[in-house]
Structure 1
Amino acid sequence: MLELRHKLKQEAQTTSAPIDRIVEISYSHMITTQTITDSIVKFPTLKTLKNTVSKQRRQTRPPLPKSIQDLPAQLPILYTLTKKNSNFLLFNGSLGGKRGLIFASIDDIKYLAYQKFWYADGTFYTSPSIFYQIYSIHAFDEGLSTPCVYALLADKSEETYYDLFSTLIKNIIEISNMIKLEYITIDFEVAVKNVFYKHYPHIQVKGCLFHYGKALVQNFMKLNLKTPFQEDEFSRNWFRSFAAIALLPETDMEEASQYLRTTKPCLLLHLIASYYSVILGVWNPKYNKVVYPYSKNDYTARTHEDYLKSAREAVKKSKGRKQVATDGIKGLSCLFKIFNYPCQIIFDYMHLVCLCHIPSVIHRWCQRISKSSIQDVDQRLKQLRTPHNIKVVFLESIQSVNLWKAKNSRLFVLYVGVPIMTNRLPTLLFSHFIIYSLAIKLLHTPQSEQDILLGERLLHYYCRTIANIYDSSMEIFSLHAHIHLGHQVRLHGGLAHTSAFAFESAIRYIKKSAHGSINIASQIAYWNNLRCTTQLKKFNLAETSLIDVREESKKHW
């Protein structure tokens, strides 16, 4: 144990390695080589050892400054030299009106002077707390990137960057009498770009492909496309193609952009944009989404032949390459031989209404009503007493409506939403919701054709006016699909009889037949076949016990 402490203190004094690394390596080595296991239990904790090493290092080094003002005007010589005792501090003074330091050796400056390509980027996580960032400049030659300059900067203003590069270029010319810089690659920081555009126009500024791709991914995720990006291959390929436009010659960029606009997935909803009628989605740059304005509806019904025609056209356009969608159809499918499109394809109201539209509407309500009203609604929902056959508990606030289960939204829209929101919503929002609730309730279990007709008319009115009640960002494809619910109910019955609620109840049973994430359908089919062949129960059909009225009538007469 004494040997361990002595070793730790020695390394803290003689090396500049991080304290965590020193302690963890020594501690791990001691435990793995220790032969007497009883003494291992008596070892001090890692935290204790790290505190000991920190104290030892503070005794041999000056205290860390708490602000830039505490930094001495002249740094100790020990911290301005390389291991070969050559000067490493290139500049110590004002950069952009604030204290800044530039570190680079003479060899680094000479090497940098002869390179045509520079790379520059800032990092914040490893920067000392008294500075804003460490800005590093690398030279790129023959496929090798070499760090040459490190600058401790107090901010990221254009003035600071100008002082940094003017000081650096001045020193390079003084030391090497030349500079061959022609291109500099940066991370799309506007302040750096402006410095070169204004003061060094002969140097071409390029954007870093890594930062470009990272920025695209971040904006892609802001559109709530993380799941489609992970699960849909077409969306991934389209995104990669979009990112690759930056690598094309300028003369080809416009043509490539036009091609991607015609083949874009349109947030994936555009691919399924019209099952029953023809409507084209419109990209709304204000809300960063595709909207389907009610005024653009074309009530020309699509037929099975229309789907086949679009599918063949998509195959023809693809020509063996990546799939190109035509009117929302990406190609031929064996399902065209089984189902009659679109009549036999239905919208599931569990997802359409309960998991999509209701949470979206309630989220908008929370932006319009006071906190006290929200708390009152939450309290009333928690105090609900439902019949024994309706086991629904509202554990989450309406502010966390996205965490509601489908059964919560179903109970809300069909039964309790209207009475609970009475006098708690603005009159306009409340009356609009009453129309929607009544329409869904009529189509849920219609008793007559008049119920279906009224529900259909109410939904048309609801969809036509929603942009005036909220804004046009509500006119997404899931809202447009509501218009077709009336026709669907006429063909297949009430929404209550064609939803995924029944299937959801059987998911737990089905999941027991699949393990892992490979060949799930084959696993389920295999175990289902096995159960059918091994768990057959023999039974005899009961004999007819009804009376033949006709025979009895003959006997009577």
Structure 2
Amino acid sequence: MEDNIEIEISETNRGNEQIIINKKHKFNFSFQRKDKSKIYRCTEYKTLNKCKSLIILNDKKEVLKYESLHNHLEKEIDVSISLAKHKIKEEIKKNSIPMDIKPKHIFNAVSHEMGLICPEYSTIRSQIIRNINKQFPPNIKSFDDIPIESEYHKTKRNENFMIFKNTDLIIFQSPFQAYLFSNYHKNIFADGTFYAAPKFSYQLFITRTYVGEFNMFYTTSISILKNKKQSTYETLYKEIKKNANKFRSNTLITTINFHCDFEQEEENISYNDYQRRTKGN
């Protein structure tokens, strides 16, 4: 067995464990023995070379046996790329802003030669995105798939962000947005968009308000509508108003002027029903 064997842990494109020996050869996991030691075979084992090299490690990744019977050229470049990809994946897992990862620095740390010929960002961007997506739950495919409770419905302050859900409507409003709505409700600007709406829904409905002290518009709620029924808009206005009133200690919200390019169903509620309710008539 060779002396001074340097072992590094990497992984295959499919995410399976891979062992790197002396930055020259790659070994894929083959099987585990009864004593929990693992046997890894050279990646050239299943090629025309039929390389018979293997390494056996115990559960502490200590070398029990290494048979260096390589009958092919060393793969320093290929090994360096594999190590760099693995390090990039590890950086993604612990980095809060994965898109800020600098691939060239990682390649350079693995091999100075690789740093000089590091692939452009675009060539590994898909891999970074793929690994980011693995950290999130599966894509929502229907309205009913959206859970009532989820860690993704929480703000950074661990506050509930989704305030309402039924079969036709989902409303998202953080406590801060509700506070803005309750204190700057005289003029609310509403807009429904179809372009940004999820495929399984009818419309994404957003309300905003203008805060004069900061000379800025702030979003006060985001809703996903499954249809354009008048009853859906009725519920939307009712629930937003009810949630905003939680932040008013003395008086409840009275008049609200909605500014919007209304659909007929919205117009019926805004001018005929909703304004009448908020005025207390």
The normalised TM-score by structure 1 is 0.30
Contact 1:182 1:203 in 2 (8 A): no
Partner of 2:237: 165
Does 2:152 correspond to 1:79?
yes
Partner of 1:309: none
The one-letter amino acid of 1:68's match is F
Residue by residue over 1:176-196, the C-alpha shift from the partner in whole angstroms, topping out at 9 and shown as x without a partner, is 251154321112433222211
The one-letter amino acid of 2:163's match is L
Partner of 2:175: 106
Does 2:163 correspond to 1:93?
no
Mapped to 2, the partners of 1:154 and 1:44 lie a distance apart of 42
Residue by residue over 1:74-99, the C-alpha shift from the partner in whole angstroms, topping out at 9 and shown as x without a partner, is 332x11211111221211223xxx2x
Partner of 2:219: 147
Quote the RMSD (CA, aligned, Å): 3.5
The normalised TM-score by structure 2 is 0.55
Larger RCO (alpha carbons 8 Å, 6+ apart): 2
The one-letter amino acid of 1:30's match is K
Partner of 2:132: 57
Does 2:211 correspond to 1:138?
no
The one-letter amino acid of 2:203's match is Q
Cα displacement (A) at 1:197: 1.6
SS at match of 1:192: helix
Mapped to 1, the partners of 2:104 and 2:193 lie a distance apart of 36
1:70 to 114, 128, 145: 145
Cα distance 1:202–1:37, how it changes in 2: closer, same or farther (>3 A)? farther
Cα distance 1:120–1:8, how it changes in 2: closer, same or farther (>3 A)? farther
Residue by residue over 1:265-284, the C-alpha shift from the partner in whole angstroms, topping out at 9 and shown as x without a partner, is xxxxxxxxxxxxxxxxxxxx
Contact 2:258 2:270 in 1 (8 A): no
Partner of 1:191: 265
Cα distance 1:71–1:108, how it changes in 2: closer, same or farther (>3 A)? closer
Partner of 1:118: 188
Cα distance 1:3–1:203, how it changes in 2: closer, same or farther (>3 A)? farther
Cα displacement (A) at 1:169: 1.4
Q: How does 1:538-557 map to 2 (within 5 A)?
A: none
The one-letter amino acid of 2:220's match is C
Cα distance 1:85–1:38, how it changes in 2: closer, same or farther (>3 A)? closer
Q: Which runs of 4+ in 1 moved over 6 A?
A: none
Residue by residue over 1:118-168, the C-alpha shift from the partner in whole angstroms, topping out at 9 and shown as x without a partner, is 111123333333333321111113142111211122233333222111111
Q: Percent of pairs identical after alignment?
A: 22
Partner of 2:69: none
SS at match of 2:134: helix
Contact 2:92 2:131 in 1 (8 A): no
Contact 1:133 1:152 in 2 (8 A): yes
Cα displacement (A) at 1:171: 2.2
Contact 1:88 1:104 in 2 (8 A): yes
Structure 1: gaps of 5 or more residues? 205-557
Partner of 1:43: 119
**Between Structure 1 and Structure 2, which shows a larger proportion of strand residues?**
2
SS at match of 1:187: coil
1:129 to 174, 193, 199: 199
